[in-house]
């Protein structure tokens, strides 16, 4: 605690702790609740199950392979972007003096120490490393899903025993979507972490706002209401 107090003041320590609790707590909450409520992920998982069921009934599965390819391209875009972001963040270590000159002209801002400047950058790098791992794991699972689709026997051979195929296909695509969502959530919280460069209170306010926005989109958005129409 003495070492922490030497480099952090109480505002920065509370803000960082608040950020970690909010991110970890919300991730745990939504991972648990999505299994028992009609969240955006849970509803789309039901649609994925219907997709796999319809795919089993088709002999020509070209459209399904194209669909998985489209999903892979969007994930690849985010994974590549994450690498560029990390490279840009690593180049910021030498810009401490220039940033402090800028921050002095921002009302209600709080100057930072060289040590804390590095901590803030490292926090962002860790966030985007986490996002990169989530995106690449999601991409790999869609690769496995593509292999799985092309391994399914013709319709007339599986019509009487399609349940194992339905379960495997649904799990593969749903898990891939889950990790993609986790990567997007890391981006959202990374945006909140940017506010720490201005002031710890701005950091906490941005974190709370991100939790509110993500919760609203996953559980109370118009998109979710539209997907639930007729259910």
Q: Is the pLDDT of residue 74 over 80?
A: yes
Q: Summarize pLDDT for 117-171 with one digit per residue, the tens.
A: 889 999 999 999 999 999 999 999 999 999 998 888 887 775 667 788 889 999 9
pLDDT in the model for residue 1: 45
Q: How far is CA 163 from CA 64, 179, 218, in A?
A: 18, 24, 29
| Structure tokens belonging to residue 209 | 């706002």
In angstroms, the Cα distances linking 204 to 68, 197, 199 are 38, 12, 9
Predicted confidence (pLDDT) per residue in 181-191, tens digit: 999 999 999 99
Among 141, 226, 225, CA closest to 182:
141
Rounded to an integer, what distance in angstroms lies between the CA atom of residue 37 and that of residue 30? 10
Q: Taking the complete model, does pTM exceed 0.75, yes or no? A: yes
- Checking if the pLDDT of 75 tops 60, the result is yes
More confident residue, 75 or 228: 75
As a residue count, the chain comes to 231
* Residue ranges per structural domain of the chain: 39-227
Report, as an integer, the average pLDDT of 28-54.
Answer: 83
Alpha helices, DSSP H, located in the chain: 2-7, 10-33, 40-56, 62-90, 96-103, 114-151, 155-158, 163-194, 200-219, 222-227
Alpha carbon distance 76, 14 (integer Å):
36
Task: Estimate to the nearest angstrom the gap between the alpha carbon of 53 and the chain centroid.
Answer: 27
Reduced 3-state DSSP string for 195-226: HHHCCHHHHHHHHHHHHHHHHHHHHCCHHHHH
- 12-32 residues labelled b (16+ CB within 10 A) or e (exposed): beebbeebeebbeebbeebee
Half-sphere exposure of 197 (CA within 13 A, CB side): 22
CA distances from 112 to 63, 99, 192, 196 (A): 54, 9, 17, 10
């Amino acid at each position: 605690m003495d070492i922490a107090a030497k480099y952090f003041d109480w505002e920065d320590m509370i803000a960082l702790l608040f950020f970690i609790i909010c991110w970890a707590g919300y991730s745990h909450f939504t991972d648990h609740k999505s299994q028992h409520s009609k969240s955006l992920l849970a509803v789309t998982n039901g649609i994925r199950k219907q997709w796999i069921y319809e795919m089993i009934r088709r002999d020509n599965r070209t459209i399904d392979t194209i669909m998985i390819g489209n999903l892979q391209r969007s994930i690849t875009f985010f994974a590549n972007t994450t690498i560029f972001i990390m490279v840009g963040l690593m180049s910021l270590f030498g810009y401490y003096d220039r940033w402090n000159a800028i921050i002095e002209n921002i009302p209600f801002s709080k100057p930072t120490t060289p040590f804390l400047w590095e901590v803030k950058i490292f926090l962002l790098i860790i966030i985007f490393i986490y996002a990169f791992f989530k995106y690449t794991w999601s991409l790999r699972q869609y690769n496995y899903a593509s292999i799985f689709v092309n391994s399914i026997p013709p319709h007339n051979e599986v019509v009487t025993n399609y349940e194992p195929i339905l379960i495997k296909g649904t799990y593969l695509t749903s898990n891939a979507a889950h990790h993609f969502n986790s990567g997007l959530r890391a981006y959202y919280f990374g945006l909140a972490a940017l506010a720490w460069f201005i002031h710890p209170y701005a950091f906490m306010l941005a974190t709370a706002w991100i939790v509110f926005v993500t919760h609203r989109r996953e559980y109370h958005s118009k998109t979710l209401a539209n997907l639930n129409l007729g259910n």
